[in-house]
Amino acid sequence: MAGSAAADTLRENVLRQAALDAGLVPAEETHVPVPPDLVAAGKLLFQTKKLSLERETACASCHLDRFGSADGLPNAIGTEGRGEGVARLMGGGDIIPRNALPFWGRGSKGFEIFFWDGRVDARGEAMISQFAGEEPSDDPLVVAVHLPPVELGEMLLNSAGSETLQSETVASANQIYDQLAQRLRDDLEIGPALAKAHTIDPSQIRFIDVAEALAGFIRHNFRLKPTRFHEFVFAERDLSEDEIEGGLIFYGRGRCATCHNGAYFTDFAFHTIPFPQAGFGKNGFGIDYGRYNVTLDVDDLYRFRTPPLFNVTKTAPYSHSGSLYELSEAIRAHVDPLARSENVPTDAHQRADFYQVLKQWSHTPVAGLALDDRDIEQLVVFLGSLEFDSDQPVDETE
Ligand code: HEC
Ligand code: HEC
């Protein structure tokens, strides 16, 4: 029974073994080294508004320390936008807000698929991305950081320049990259820092050099550090009674680790969890088709990449649509989406959509699992053991 020292040790060892079986590795084993000069140039780039054509937005505008490198908002972006090429791949509909993703572990070993719908994916032989064969790099994080500056509504205003710039083709993206590279080349601080990082003359700076520095900064600054849970598993440190209980639920009857597993607490696969769809939705009218937008496979409707869970206590609100503010609500939505009547859409079309979501969800191992409030509270406490800080603070732009 609880209370006996032998039973406590047994429970701890069961939890340690479960974490190892689910693929947890020491934080250091995930690291990919990045040259310090590249990190330094990347940090300047990350914080500058010059990376947006209209000088309005910096990466740091939406990826803030204060919010665990996300933005604390349900939806980050906010405009429409439709065209050929890139937009076609998005499966039609308006390009519209999603919840900002944080950066923990991004681009470290084995982390090579990006965004909620996995639209940059280097897991297979050929990379999949909106560049459709014209990828600027074989490093998927370098490809991923190419997207924000040319995504309408994200860093590119809809009113930006000419029709060509708004067409969202690779050619129009390249025009924007050239303009940005030229601007950064001429910047008295960033130009020399980038030139030094790449050992080139400032006049030679191209956008690929910019993107490599940004990726280097993200990869280094947000790399995993040993969390209290790592220390528990790999260095025999203690966790609290509630953390252990929550951990046992996570790996045990909560079945969380069937999807949230591996070094980053994600299987890098796509599943449907019936989170309420707040906001307009990427596909319009309160709908976001998720992975389907990339694969156009109806089996992928409403599926999203399993989010990693490091620092998840800091990145409210939750889900691809940012519809839930409390971690406990995010967990409850996995097992019992109707627990809150507010989660049920009021519009008949959206309800029809919600039934489709429930149909997909019904095949997941969490569908209809009974977790009571205390179980969920303990899961929240457990997730708190996955916190750590970024290497250097990111300055917020004014
Ligand atoms: C307007 C807010 C906003 C700005 C500005 C912004 N981002 Fe993001 N970022 C987001 C949102 C929202 C997502 C999730 C989008 C999605 O998955 O569809 C995201 C996702 C990402 C991801 C994918 C992370 C993952 O887990 O796969 C990377 C990488 C990224 N952003 C890098 C950048 C960089 C680099 C910049 C600056 C060049 C930048 N972002 C600027 C809002 C923003
Ligand atoms: C079937 C796979 C699967 C299982 C099992 C699962 N999750 Fe998830 N989880 C996901 C996916 C996919 C999302 C994102 C869905 C979305 O945004 O639409 C998610 C989102 C989350 C989020 C929100 C993260 C964020 O950044 O927005 C938390 C927290 C979470 N899961 C915790 C848990 C816990 C705790 C359990 C066990 C009770 C669990 N999950 C079980 C797949 C799963």
State whether the beta carbon of 149 lies less than 6 angstroms from ligand 1: yes
pLDDT at 131: 86
Taking CA atoms only, the protein residue closest to ligand 1 atom 21 is 101
**Ligand positioned closest to the Cα atom of 116:** 1
pLDDT at 95: 40
pLDDT at 158: 55
120-121 and 113-114 strand pairing: antiparallel
The pLDDT tens digits for 269-303 are 999 999 887 666 667 667 788 999 889 999 999 99
Do the domains 5-29+225-386 and 33-221 sit in the same CATH topology, yes or no?
yes
pLDDT at 195: 97
Residue where the block lists tokens 């000069």: 37
pLDDT at 84: 28
Question: Token pair of 65, please?
Answer: 């320390």
**Ligand positioned closest to the Cα atom of 378:** 2
Q: Find the mean pLDDT for residues 185-210.
A: 95
**306 Cα to the center of ligand 2, angstroms:** 6
Count the helices and strands in the chain (H runs, E runs): 15, 4
The pLDDT tens digits for 368-392 are 899 999 999 999 999 999 999 999 9
Residue with the bigger pLDDT between 150 and 396: it is: 150
177 to 151, 248, 316: CA distances (angstroms)? 12, 49, 32
Q: Find the mean pLDDT for residues 41-59.
A: 90
Residue where the block lists tokens 């490093």: 139
Residue 77: pLDDT over 70: no
State whether the beta carbon of 57 lies less than 6 angstroms from ligand 1: yes
**Ligand positioned closest to the Cα atom of 53:** 1
Question: Token pair of 239, please?
Answer: 């966790």
Lowest mean pLDDT: which of 4-18, 58-72, 179-193, 315-329?
58-72
Which residue type occupies 65?
A: D
For residue 65, give every residue at least 6 positions away whose Cβ sits within 8 Å of its Cβ, in sequence order, or none. 390, 393, 394, 396
Residue with the bigger pLDDT between 392 and 256: it is: 256
Backbone angles phi, psi at 309, to 5 degrees: -115, 5
The pLDDT tens digits for 118-158 are 999 999 989 999 888 889 999 999 999 998 888 766 676 55
**273 Cα to the center of ligand 2, angstroms:** 7
Model confidence at 15, pLDDT cuts 50, 70, 90, reads very high
Spatial separation of the C-alpha atoms in residues 317 and 27, rounded to whole Å: 26
- Find the helix or strand (DSSP H, E) in which 120 lies: strand 120-121
pLDDT at 250: 98
- The residues lining ligand 2, judged by C-beta closer than 6 Å to any ligand atom, are 250, 254-256, 258-260, 271, 273, 275, 304, 306-307, 312, 315, 318-320, 327, 330-331, 334, 364-366, 379
Is the link from the previous residue into 365 a cis peptide, with omega within 30 of 0?
no
Taking the CB of residue 374, how many other CB atoms lie within 10 A of it? 11
Spatial separation of the C-alpha atoms in residues 248 and 18, rounded to whole Å: 8
DSSP 186-234: T-TTHHHHHHHHHTS-GGG--HHHHHHHHHHHHHHHT-----HHHHHHH
Backbone angles phi, psi at 114, to 5 degrees: -125, 155
State whether the beta carbon of 215 lies less than 6 angstroms from ligand 1: no
- Find the helix or strand (DSSP H, E) in which 305 lies: strand 304-305
Residue with the bigger pLDDT between 58 and 192: it is: 192
Give the mutation target among 46, 52, 53, 59 for probing the ligand 1 site: most ligand atoms within 8 A of CB: 59
**Domain ranges within the chain, ordered by starting residue:** 5-29+225-386, 33-221
> What is the CB-side half-sphere exposure of residue 181 using CA atoms within 13 A?
20
Mean pLDDT for all residues in the chain: 87
What's the CATH number of domain 5-29+225-386, 1.10.760.10, 3.30.420.10, 1.10.10.10, 2.60.40.1180? Answer: 1.10.760.10
pLDDT at 164: 53
Residue 333: pLDDT over 90: yes
Domain with residues 33-221, CATH architecture = Orthogonal Bundle (1.10)
Spatial separation of the C-alpha atoms in residues 178 and 273, rounded to whole Å: 40
DSSP 221-285: HT-----HHHHHHHH-----HHHHHHHHHHHTTT-GGGTS-TTTT--S-EE-------SS-TTST
